């Protein structure tokens, strides 16, 4: 007969796996288990599909990948024969009932249980019904050293299917939940409320273990936590930092109570957004094997904050900033770009584009004869810069960081094969006013883990001056766009909140402006389909969250 534990030491492994790197993820899991063992843990809880990396998308359709994941799970289970902590780890498993998003529970050198995710998310960034089958039925709690543990998987606690309540009725004493929950602004509050709701319904404490790290456009921010049966926060792990924290739970007459665990402070809004962008850029560059990055430093706010993010994420020695002046580049911009590069300590090159642009214009003289000069000629400047950046990328193996913000990408204020060139965009999901807010924040703070310097890294003049693409004489963005506070509010209404034109006008906006912005939003879809991936910050980014047709004649006319 198994003796019941009255004290249970549960380690939460909040780690940064890489999709597809099964061997590397297993090595991370083993290292974390050894760390947890040194801390006296009885059990280690890992995150959703940890051995595969999350989300693995169509890799799950590849039999060789599934076999590699299952072999890794079996090898890890065998490790537990050493008498150390048991493990709960996520992996895809192919069974007679289908391919499942699963966990294996191992102890004593063998797998003692498997559990399969029941509620497969199929909204926003999630597309699990494409590659997984739901578990055939709710499976009861697992008896681990005399403690009955329920293991719902991520979405199993977000829906209304009563999985947690059923586990409680089946005798579960505590719920351990592996998660792959991506970041968006204020997401932690949403997670807390989801868990509190489930705790109220089932009456059991719940541990929420969340993945860390960047995977393409998604950022997993960690911030693992637990809510006790009394509906209070039992512990809170750090956000944007990997950790293996051991929490101590004691059996009482009223169930399991957390007596020891971390209580980390969660960053405020600007810090959280900045750190998400920084983590996303760092992981995209490092996980894809780039040694360094290059970007066009124009003297404007967008390229300046991207330069700061690159130095913070990768270090000054891994960024090359290139100023590419033309006849419309102001002296202020030349000075501001140089001051920014000097403040950040990165390499700074000046590559004038007069000759390539004039060469294009000369080549096209006969073809363009009799036409007025305009956007076509302006775009040639942007495309010359884009070509130079891609040439540097090809020659030196540097990834191009592209720097367009969400306001510009919404209305098509960007040039295909020009300033849109690049491999990754850390500010793709930040509206212009958010870019300003984060720039001011960075000048006063150095985020944890940043490799960049303290102090003013984005010159004050860049923040204060009117934004301009500088593609013609005395140009400013507001020549063709509403003021950014107005534009950003209209766009947030249209994109994040799917509001109708009448409702947006009721907020105090001019109807003609709203309908024009709606039109620009729709007709720029083809550009966004060709844009580089970038960090997701809002509830609805451009990409998997928002799948509008390119060919689209709908306009909201009330």
Which residue positions form the known binding site for ATP?
296-303, 403
Residues assigned a catalytic role = 48, 117, 154
Distance (Å, rounded) from C-alpha 327 to C-alpha 313? 33
Residues 6+ away with beta carbon under 8 Å from 111? 73, 74, 77, 104, 105
Known binding-site positions: 123, 181, 187, 296-303, 379, 403, 408, 527
Pair of tokens at residue 158: 């977000």
Q: DSSP per residue over 300-314, as a string?
A: SHHHHHHHHHHHHHH
Percent helix, strand, coil in the chain, to 5, is 40, 20, 40
Pair of tokens at residue 152: 């719902």
Known binding-site positions for L-glutamine: 123, 181, 187
In order of 111, 227, 236, the CA distances from 232 in angstroms are 33, 6, 11
In order of 30, 65, 113, 400, the CA distances from 532 in angstroms are 35, 27, 42, 10
Cβ-contact 102, 91 below 8 angstroms: yes
* Residue 472 β-bridge partners: none
Pair of tokens at residue 135: 């578990």
Q: Is the dihedral of CA 308, 313, 314, 315 positive or negative?
A: positive
**Alpha-carbon 276 to chain mean position:** 6
Element housing 280 (H / E): helix 269-287
Burial class (CB in 10 A: 0-12, 13-18, 19+), 220: buried
Distance (Å, rounded) from C-alpha 376 to C-alpha 364? 11
Residue in 22, 31, 14, 87 with CA at minimum distance from that of residue 53:
22
In order of 28, 507, 541, the CA distances from 499 in angstroms are 45, 11, 16
Distance (Å, rounded) from C-alpha 374 to C-alpha 388? 22
Cβ-contact 418, 400 below 8 angstroms: no
Residue in 240, 251, 241 with CA at minimum distance from that of residue 273:
240
Residue in 255, 237, 256, 254 with CA at minimum distance from that of residue 246:
237
Distance (Å, rounded) from C-alpha 190 to C-alpha 221? 14
């Amino acid at each position: 007969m198994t003796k019941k534990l009255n004290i249970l030491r549960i380690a939460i492994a909040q780690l940064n796996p890489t999709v597809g790197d099964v061997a590397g993820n297993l090595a991370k899991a083993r290292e974390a288990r050894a760390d947890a063992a040194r801390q006296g843990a009885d059990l280690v809880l890992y995150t959703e599909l940890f051995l595969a990396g999350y989300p693995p998308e169509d890799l799950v359709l590849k039999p060789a990948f599934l076999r590699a994941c299952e072999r890794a799970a079996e090898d890890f289970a065998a490790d537990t024969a050493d008498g150390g902590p048991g493990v709960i780890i996520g992996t895809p498993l192919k069974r007679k009932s289908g391919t499942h998003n699963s966990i294996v529970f191992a102890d004593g050198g063998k797998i003692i249980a498997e559990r399969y995710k029941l509620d497969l998310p199929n909204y926003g960034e999630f597309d699990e019904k494409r590659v997984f089958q739901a578990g055939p039925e709710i499976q009861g709690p697992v008896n681990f050293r005399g403690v009955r543990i329920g293991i719902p998987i991520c979405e199993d606690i977000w829906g209304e299917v009563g999985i947690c309540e059923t586990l409680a009725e089946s005798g579960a004493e505590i719920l351990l939940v592996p998660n792959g929950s991506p970041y968006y602004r204020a997401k932690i509050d949403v997670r807390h409320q989801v868990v509190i709701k489930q705790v109220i319904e089932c009456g059991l404490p719940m541990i929420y273990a969340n993945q860390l790290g960047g995977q393409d456009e998604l950022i997993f921010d960690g911030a693992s936590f637990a809510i006790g049966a009394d509906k209070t926060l039992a512990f809170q792990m750090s956000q944007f930092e990997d950790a293996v924290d051991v929490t101590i739970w004691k059996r009482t007459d009223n169930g399991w109570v957390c007596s020891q665990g971390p209580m980390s402070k969660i960053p405020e809004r600007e810090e959280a957004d900045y750190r998400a962008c920084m983590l996303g850029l760092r992981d995209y560059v490092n996980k894809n094997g780039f040694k360094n990055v290059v970007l066009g430093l124009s003297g404007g706010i967008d390229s300046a904050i991207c330069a700061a993010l690159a130095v913070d994420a990768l270090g000054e020695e891994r960024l090359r900033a290139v100023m590419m002046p033309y006849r419309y580049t102001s002296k202020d911009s030349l000075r501001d770009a140089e001051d920014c590069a000097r403040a950040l300590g990165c390499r700074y090159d000046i590559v004038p584009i007069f000759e390539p642009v004039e060469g294009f214009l000369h080549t096209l003289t006969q073809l363009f004869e009799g036409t007025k000069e305009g956007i076509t000629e302006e775009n040639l400047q942007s495309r010359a810069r884009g070509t130079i950046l891609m040439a540097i990328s090809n020659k030196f193996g540097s990834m191009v960081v592209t720097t367009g913000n969400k306001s510009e990408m919404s209305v098509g204020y960007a040039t295909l094969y020009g300033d849109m060139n690049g491999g990754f965009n850390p500010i793709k999901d930040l509206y212009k006013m958010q870019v300003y807010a984060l720039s001011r924040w960075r000048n006063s703070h150095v985020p944890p883990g940043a490799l960049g310097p303290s102090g003013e890294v984005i010159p004050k003049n860049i923040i204060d001056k009117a934004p301009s693409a500088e593609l013609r004489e005395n140009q400013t963005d507001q020549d063709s766009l509403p003021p950014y506070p107005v534009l950003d509010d209209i766009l947030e209404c249209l994109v994040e909140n799917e509001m109708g034109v009448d409702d947006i006008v009721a907020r105090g906006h001019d109807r003609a402006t709203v309908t024009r912005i709606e039109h620009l939003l729709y007709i720029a879809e083809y550009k966004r389909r060709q844009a580089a991936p970038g960090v997701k910050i809002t509830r609805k980014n451009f990409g998997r969250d928002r799948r509008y047709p390119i060919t689209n004649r709908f306009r909201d006319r009330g």
